[in-house]
Structure 1
Amino acid sequence: MQIKKNRVWAMAALLGGVIGLSSCLKQNDPGPQRMNYTGAIINGAYLPSNVDIFNNGGKMNSGAYKTGNSAPFLDLPGLKTFSFRQLNGVGLDSVTQQLDSLKYYTIITYNDGTKKFTSRLFQEDFSSLSQSKVNFRFINLSPNAGAVDLYINNKKVAENQPFSVNASWQSVDPFSNSVEYYVTVAGETAQLVKGTSRQSSGSTQVAFQPGYAYTIYLAGAKDSTGDNKLQLYYLSHTSSY
Structure 2
Amino acid sequence: MLIKKNRIWAVAALLGGVIGLSSCLKQNNDVTPPRMNYTAAIINGAYLPSSLDIFNNNGKMNAVGPYKTGSSAPFQDRPGVHTFSFRKTNGIGLDSVTQQFDSTKFYTIITYNDAAKNFVARYQEESFAGLSNSKVNFRFLNLSPNVGPVDLYINKKKVASNQAFSPVAPWNADDPYSGLVEYYITLPGETTPLVKGTSRQDASSTQVPFQAGYAYTIYLAGAKDSTGDNKLQLCYLSHTSSL
List per-residue Cα deviations over 1:111-151 (Å, max 9, x = no partner).
Answer: 01110000010100001101111000000000011100000
Taking the aligned partners of 2:3 and 2:143, their CA distance within structure 1 comes to 26
Q: CA deviation at 1:2?
A: 3.2
Q: CA deviation at 1:177?
A: 1.1
Instruction: Report matched runs for 1:123-162 at 5 Å.
Output: 123-162=125-164
SS at match of 1:191: coil
Aligned-residue sequence identity (percent) comes to 74
Taking the aligned partners of 1:65 and 1:155, their CA distance within structure 2 comes to 32
SS at match of 1:227: helix
Residue type of the partner of 1:169?
W
**CA distance change for structure 1 residues 232 and 29 in 2, over 3 Å: closer, same or farther?**
farther
Instruction: Report matched runs for 1:1-241 at 5 Å.
Output: 1-28=1-28, 30=30, 31-62=32-63, 63-241=65-243
Q: CA deviation at 1:48?
A: 0.3
Residue type of the partner of 1:55?
N
Q: CA deviation at 1:15?
A: 1.7
SS at match of 2:229: coil
Taking the aligned partners of 1:57 and 1:32, their CA distance within structure 2 comes to 25
Taking the aligned partners of 1:157 and 1:187, their CA distance within structure 2 comes to 14
Q: CA deviation at 1:103?
A: 1.1
Contact 2:107 2:123 in 1 (8 A): yes
Contact 2:41 2:74 in 1 (8 A): yes
Taking the aligned partners of 1:117 and 1:3, their CA distance within structure 2 comes to 37
Taking the aligned partners of 1:196 and 1:168, their CA distance within structure 2 comes to 22
Taking the aligned partners of 1:29 and 1:214, their CA distance within structure 2 comes to 38
Taking the aligned partners of 2:205 and 2:134, their CA distance within structure 1 comes to 26
Q: CA deviation at 1:7?
A: 2.1
The 4+ residue runs of structure 1 with deviation greater than 6 A are none
Taking the aligned partners of 2:87 and 2:40, their CA distance within structure 1 comes to 19
Contact 1:3 1:212 in 2 (8 A): no
TM-score (norm 2): 0.96
SS at match of 2:18: helix
Q: CA deviation at 1:187?
A: 1.7
SS at match of 2:194: strand
Q: CA deviation at 1:26?
A: 3.9
In structure 2, stretches of 5+ residues that fail to align are none
Taking only aligned residues, the RMSD between alpha carbons, in angstroms, comes to 1.2
